[in-house]
Amino acid sequence: MTTLDQATAKTGAGSRAGKRPVWMERPNPLVQFLKFIALLVSAALVILPFWSVLATSLADKQTLDAAAGGMVMWPGRGLSLSAYQAILSGGVVTRALVISIGITVIGTLLSLAATAGLAYWLSRSRSFAARPVLMLVLGAVLFSPGLIPSYLLVKQLNLLDNWWSLILPVLVNAFNVIVMRAFFQELPAELFESAAIDGASSLTILTRIVLPLSKAVLAVIGLFYAVGYWNAFFNALIYIQTADKWPMALVLRTYVVNQTTIGGEQIGSTEGLPPQLSMEMAILVIAILPILIVYPFIQKHFAKGVMIGAVKG
């Protein structure tokens, strides 16, 4: 499906055993083995931390005590969901989770709409003012305005300590506009012409023809935006002051990175708190999980999206 796969498929992908092109020498088994080990180690370095975090979040108190309070690789006999129950039963983490989901959903939808609209305008090269606006977009790729001026603007707009400060400043990413514009330009012009002749307006063409044909690029760019909103830490750190309005990233920093004790008043219940470490790891798992869930669906489109950005950008 992706450019990458097509290219490898077309050229015969000599690497698969038995399909090696005639001119390529037989691979040295020792070298192959070493390569395999090197890649296996890299993959393990990525997977092991996740595994360990998940295992620790599910471990019960006895298992953790046996591990001297440290991380474990196996959750032990009794899988315990008490850490998840504790942090999801109301309180700081639950609230942050709801806030982060809200910001991510609303932000991603608005970003996609604004980006697609702008890209559509700029993709019709003869349209009004397309040239100067494109220059503005390109300029925005090359530099960012800086921390202090951005902060002053958000302050001037009265957005401090407001959730919109996490959405509006990052609503449109210039690079994403360029990628999407390039994608729209690749669509066959005849489609638009025939639709226009049939009396379709620009809006109808966008919603009925352009967007349905651009699912791949919308998926990739939607993922980039969603991940950006979900992960937003920097803006939350400088713009959100009240702890009640924290998104997940700030909760993560406070309770997992800085290891502030999670007490009864932070989460709904006061009785029988699960071990701190389990709760911390459960927060971490909850922060990672949404990304792991959407990742496989979007992953197949990566190469395509990135290639367009690289070639056209």
Partner 1 sequence: MGQSSLTRPAGEAITAVPPPESAIIGRRRVGRLQRLSRDKLLVGIGLPGAIALVLFQYVPLLGNVIAFQDYQPYLGITEAPFIGLQNFSFLWTGEASFVNALVNTLILTIIQTVLVFPVPLFLALLLNSLAGERLKRLLQSILYMPHFLSWVIVVALFQQMLGNAGMLNTFLVQHGLPQFHIIGVPDLFKALITTQAIWKDAGWGTIIFLAAISQIDQEQYEAAAVDGAGAWRRLWHITLPSLKGLFILLLILRLGNSLNVGFEQIILQQGPVGLEASEVLDTWVFNNGIIGGNWGMSAAVGLVKMVVGIGLVVGANKLAHVFGERGVYEK
Return the residues of window 188-247 that contact partner 1 according to CB under 8 A: 188-189, 192-193, 195-196, 199-203, 205-206, 227, 230-234, 237-238
Q: How far apart are CB 271 and partner 1 at their closest, in Å?
A: 26
Q: Count CB-CB contacts under 10 A for residue 221.
A: 28
Q: How far is CA 35 from CA 4, 39, 48, 273, in A?
A: 21, 6, 20, 47
Residue type, 220: V
* Residues 3-62, interacting with partner 1 (CB under 8 A): 3-4, 7-8, 11-17, 21, 23-25, 27, 32, 35-36, 38-39, 42-43, 45-50, 52-53, 56
57: which 2 tokens? 């979040």
The secondary element (H helix, E strand) that includes residue 76 is: none
Nearest Cα neighbor of 285 from 71, 63, 42 is 71
Rounded CA separation 72/61 (Å): 12
Among 131, 136, 263, 269, binds partner 1 (CB under 8 A): 136
| Options 2-10, 81-89, 211-219, 262-270: segment touching partner 1 (CB under 8 A) | 2-10
Residues in the chain: 313
Rounded CA separation 6/207 (Å): 29
DSSP state of 165: G
Among 30, 41, 148, 293, binds partner 1 (CB under 8 A): 148
* Residues 239-298, interacting with partner 1 (CB under 8 A): 249, 252-253, 256-258, 281, 284, 287-288, 291-292, 295-296
Q: Closest CB to partner 1 among 88 and 200?
A: 200
Rounded CA separation 186/280 (Å): 47
Q: Are 80 and 278 in contact (CB under 8 A)?
A: yes
Q: Closest CB to partner 1 among 21 and 90?
A: 21
Rounded CA separation 16/287 (Å): 38
Q: Is 158 in the site for partner 1 (CB under 8 A)?
A: no
Q: Closest CB to partner 1 among 12 and 90?
A: 12
* Residues 92-131, interacting with partner 1 (CB under 8 A): 113-115, 117-129
Q: Closest CB to partner 1 among 85 and 231?
A: 231
Q: Total residues at the site for partner 1 (CB under 8 A)? A: 121
Residues 6+ apart with CB under 8 A from 94: 87, 88, 267, 268
Q: Closest CB to partner 1 among 160 and 268?
A: 160
Q: How far apart are CB 232 and partner 1 at their closest, in Å?
A: 8
| Options 75-83, 183-191, 214-222, 262-270: segment touching partner 1 (CB under 8 A) | 183-191
Nearest Cα neighbor of 255 from 229, 232, 274, 282 is 282
Q: Closest CB to partner 1 among 90 and 295?
A: 295
